[in-house]
Chain A
Amino acid sequence: MPAASNAVRVAMGDSTDVALAAGGDRQAFERLYRAHATRVYSLCTRMSGSRAQGEELTQDVFVRTWEKLPQFRGESAFSTWLHRLAVNVVLNARKTEGKQASRTEENDVDDERWDVRARAPMHIERMDLADAIAKLPAGARRVFVLHDVEGYKHEEIAEMCGITSGGSKAQLHRARLLLREALER
């Protein structure tokens, strides 16, 4: 489907396709996919730090959306609901990556004693922002993407990631300083 017609259809709202897809219409669901794929893919790729993982997660998100669509009550815009579901899919996928890795990341995210002056080693050359985000530590990357790219509030991030609001703030600041260093601004 051409991008222009996607834009028009998104502007008109997804309600018809959402209703059809919730009833099992796969063509309507494909239209929803076409309209929202790049946004979901961007989120998945930036949060995971990998295009390959982003592709896999995007597919997971839309499969999950298909399963959950009958439960969508229209209390928020479909795009908002889809976006939140995508965040949850990415975060849940992270949790299944292994207990050891998970424990390390949780400690990383929850460490509110983190010294804002500390600099994690990022031995990287000057790069663009997207590349620098991908190279951030996982916990800092997730919070940065959710806050500065996607516009979530710390309270929302804390709830989604299972951390405190203070932990989210600390990770965000850490991410910004690391990015500044990486970008050699």
Chain B
Amino acid sequence: MTNSKMTCEAFDAALPDYLEGTLDDSMRASVETHLRECVRCAGVVRDIENIRHDAADLPDLIPARDLWAGIESRIAAPVIPLAARPERQRRFAPAWMGVAAAALIVSTAGITYMLTSRSLGSRQDQAVAQVSPTASQVDAAPAQQAPDNSLASAPSQTAGGNSASPALAVRTPTQRGGTQVSLASRDIQTGPSHSDVVYAREIEMLQGIVKQRKTQLDSSTVAIIEKNLQIIDTAIEQSKAALAKDPASRLLTEQLTHALDKKVELLRTAALMPAST
């Protein structure tokens, strides 16, 4: 094709590279010759140059309302009333679910911290004063162990406080906002222990969040999380069974604490995980 015989179709094909400045010298010369001869194609180039110029000079847009209030409320991580949670979450668009989850986790972690901190003194005293039960005492109360097991699989039963479980001494959380509850000793008592309730509440809340976020997460990620939760639940059950036979065992107590903490940690991570893309 010669300079003087470039067609408009050929010009159209060369136009993107011409505008990008990536044509070789001979092709660029052909295009420029064609532009001098063709009013239609010269108009196209002129219009596009005007659009480029105008686009670069577009003024900033101003929001119709002040958006800061909405941002501030979100970064302040307000405590969301637990009773209102299901209703609020139904109103949220998927993009807000992660924020709601974070806010709920912060609120439950805060509650956990306050509860465990408040009861620290009295619990430590009890842990020293109480006498560990004998194996026969534990065996004689199998029904009291059941809700403790349900902590892992169905925490809502324990959270409801329908039955008793071994007492758990509580220590101060070691992490900011964490659910660090230590089972320093285990004793028979008539109602659900404070720590049982704290763990059950935390786990129940987190499981609720994770359940609602399931559809937003990658299916293989969900499968791995569920598999790991099963492993942790098995560890919790085994620790509880062993503790039923040896309630004074510090090692077993720590194992159970560790497993429960792992479960909370995994659920919290899953709840805060970004939606799959």
Chain A residue with Cβ nearest B12: A117
Question: Are A185 and B47 in contact (CB-based, < 8 A)?
Answer: yes
Question: Are A129 and B55 in contact (CB-based, < 8 A)?
Answer: yes
Closest Cβ of chain A to B55, distance in Å, is 4
Cβ–Cβ < 8 Å partners of A177 in chain B? 48
* Measured CA separation A159–B15 after assembly (Å): 24
Q: Which of A29, A33, A176 interacts with B52 by CB under 8 Å?
A: A176
Closest Cβ of chain A to B66, distance in Å, is 9
Q: Which of B54, B64, B75 interacts with A26 by CB under 8 Å?
A: B75
Chain A residue with Cβ nearest B62: A38
* Measured CA separation A94–B43 after assembly (Å): 35
B69-88 vs A, CB cutoff 8 Å, 1 = contact: the mask equals 01110111000000000000
Question: Are A130 and B58 in contact (CB-based, < 8 A)?
Answer: yes
* Measured CA separation A111–B13 after assembly (Å): 16
* Measured CA separation A30–B68 after assembly (Å): 7
Does B224 sit at the interface, judged by CB under 8 A?
no
A130-156 vs B, CB cutoff 8 Å, 1 = contact: the mask equals 100100000000001000110100100
Q: How many residues of B contact A (CB 8 A)?
A: 38
Q: Which of B13, B44, B56, B60 interacts with A42 by CB under 8 Å?
A: B60
Chain A residue with Cβ nearest B94: A96
Chain A residue with Cβ nearest B275: A96
B4-23 vs A, CB cutoff 8 Å, 1 = contact: the mask equals 00000100110110011000
What total of A-B pairs shows CB separation below 8 Å? 110
Does B51 sit at the interface, judged by CB under 8 A?
yes
Question: Are B15 and A59 in contact (CB-based, < 8 A)?
Answer: no
Question: Are B64 and A51 in contact (CB-based, < 8 A)?
Answer: yes
Question: Are A63 and B61 in contact (CB-based, < 8 A)?
Answer: no
* A45-B61, A96-B94 given; A59·B67 CB < 8 A: yes
Interface residues of A in 101-148 (CB under 8 A from B): 116-117, 129-130, 133, 144, 148
Question: Are A37 and B16 in contact (CB-based, < 8 A)?
Answer: no
Interface residues of A in 35-94 (CB under 8 A from B): 37-39, 41-42, 45-46, 51, 54-56, 58-60, 62-63, 66, 92-93
* Measured CA separation A170–B64 after assembly (Å): 34
Question: Are B15 and A173 in contact (CB-based, < 8 A)?
Answer: yes
Question: Are A129 and B51 in contact (CB-based, < 8 A)?
Answer: yes
Question: Are B65 and A55 in contact (CB-based, < 8 A)?
Answer: yes
Chain B residue with Cβ nearest A63: B74
Closest Cβ of chain B to A126, distance in Å, is 13
The 6 closest A-B pairs by CB, nearest first: A185-B47, A148-B55, A38-B60, A173-B16, A95-B277, A42-B61
Task: Give 21 pairs: A residue, B residue, CB < 8 Å, sorted on A.
Answer: A30-B68, A37-B63, A38-B62, A41-B61, A54-B63, A55-B63, A55-B67, A56-B95, A59-B71, A63-B74, A66-B75, A92-B277, A129-B58, A130-B61, A148-B52, A148-B55, A148-B56, A151-B56, A154-B20, A180-B51, A185-B51
